[in-house]
């Protein structure tokens, strides 16, 4: 190839490169997506866990929703009030106090309390266990299987299986909701961090059935409800629940419960 041909080829490549560069430069200006500077500032103050506990795809998703007015300024469960106040300052609004919540496993079916129907040898995964007889070896199929899918899902190391039941460390829990989403029996819920007591049972079976399955199960006897001065306890479908807006923390429900299913939180 002659020198002229080489120079011509180099010139063509250079011209094409220059054209593409100019085109991309113009396109980046014309098609630039305008981002509200408040959104960028909010992302900076958010924890950056990208856990999805807020209901949005990561911290950037929450920031965008807050700027659009689609999410509250205290919408980050991990950051809590501290982050909520910073976001409120960026948005130029007044921060509202929010009650801290933590996950709670509604089961007290420990190894010595719940009856086992058979010995299980297989994959230790709660969701897979839903496909075996009676959804696992434990007689009660309303309680914790104890195989720790929630433990694997928690990004904060706030939940562990102790004596056959998942237990939440309320000091570490950030209420991201990942354990709730992964639990196939839906026995994990968010309750106030300040809740003095909680019902550690999810069974809605009649009393005689529950007693055959677990010695720590709620039988719906109603003693907790009858003796609650604040009217904070209800019994529905043989299962007690506590209204924390009414609870005064007197501890009568714990004292009267003979099945150890209302516990100190």
Query: What pLDDT digit, counting tens, does each position of 209-239 carry?
Result: 999 999 999 999 999 999 999 999 999 999 9
Q: Do 145 and 67 belong to one domain?
A: no
Average pLDDT, the chain: 90
pLDDT at position 195, please? 96
The domain that holds 71 is classified in CATH as 1.10.15.40
Q: Do 71 and 202 belong to one domain?
A: no
Q: Which helix (H) or strand (E) holds 152?
A: helix 149-153
The domain that holds 232 is classified in CATH as 3.30.70.20
- C-alpha closest to that of 177 among 244, 106, 101, 125: 101
Whole-Å CA distances, 161 to 46, 110, 142, 152, 213: 30, 10, 17, 11, 20
**Ramachandran bin of 185, using left for φ above 0, alpha for ψ from -120 to 50, beta for the remaining angles:** alpha
Residues 6+ apart with CB under 8 A from 89: 95
Residue 143 above 60 pLDDT?
yes
The average pLDDT across 160-186 equals 95
Q: Do 74 and 172 belong to one domain?
A: no
Q: Do 80 and 129 belong to one domain?
A: no
Question: What gap in Å lies between CA 134 and CA 115, rounded to an integer?
Answer: 13
Q: Do 63 and 136 belong to one domain?
A: no
pLDDT tens for each residue of 60-105: 999 999 999 898 898 888 888 889 999 999 999 887 777 889 999 9
Whole-Å CA distances, 21 to 9, 31, 75, 245: 18, 15, 42, 63
Residue 48 lies in a domain: yes
Question: What gap in Å lies between CA 222 and CA 66, rounded to an integer?
Answer: 44
Q: Do 116 and 241 belong to one domain?
A: yes
Domain that holds residue 47: 37-91
> Residue 190 — φ and ψ, nearest 5°?
-90, 130
Asked if 78 and 49 count as a contact pair (C-beta separation under 8 A), the reply is yes
DSSP type of residue 148: -
Residue carrying the six token digits 């063509």: 12
Number of domains making up the chain: 2
Q: Do 202 and 74 belong to one domain?
A: no
Q: Do 85 and 116 belong to one domain?
A: no
pLDDT tens for each residue of 4-28: 777 677 777 777 777 787 877 776 6
Residue 153 lies in a domain: yes
Widest distance between CA atoms in the chain: 103
């Amino acid at each position: 190839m002659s020198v002229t041909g080489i120079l011509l080829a180099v010139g063509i490549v250079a011209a094409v490169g220059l054209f593409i560069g100019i085109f991309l430069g113009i396109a980046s200006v014309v098609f630039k997506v305008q981002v509200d500077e408040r959104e960028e500032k909010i992302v900076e103050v958010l924890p950056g866990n990208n856990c999805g506990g807020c209901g949005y795809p990561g911290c950037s998703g929450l920031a965008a929703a807050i700027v659009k007015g689609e999410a509250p300024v205290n919408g980050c469960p991990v950051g809590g009030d501290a982050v909520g106040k910073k976001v409120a300052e960026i948005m130029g609004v007044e921060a509202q106090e929010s009650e801290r919540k933590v996950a709670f496993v509604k089961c007290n079916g420990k190894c010595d309390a719940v009856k086992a129907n058979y010995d299980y040898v297989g994959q230790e995964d709660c969701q897979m266990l839903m496909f075996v007889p009676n959804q696992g070896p434990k007689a009660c199929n309303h309680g914790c299987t104890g195989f720790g899918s929630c433990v694997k899902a928690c990004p904060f190391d706030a939940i562990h299986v102790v004596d056959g039941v998942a237990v939440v460390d309320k000091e570490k829990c950030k209420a991201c909701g990942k354990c709730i989403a992964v639990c196939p029996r839906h026995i994990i819920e968010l309750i106030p961090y300040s809740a003095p007591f909680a019902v550690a049972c999810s069974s809605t079976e009649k009393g005689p059935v529950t007693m055959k399955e677990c010695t720590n199960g709620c039988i719906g006897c109603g003693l907790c409800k009858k003796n609650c001065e604040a009217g904070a306890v209800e019994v529905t479908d043989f299962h007690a629940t506590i209204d924390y807006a009414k609870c005064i923390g007197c501890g009568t429900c714990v004292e009267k419960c003979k099945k150890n299913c209302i516990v100190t939180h």
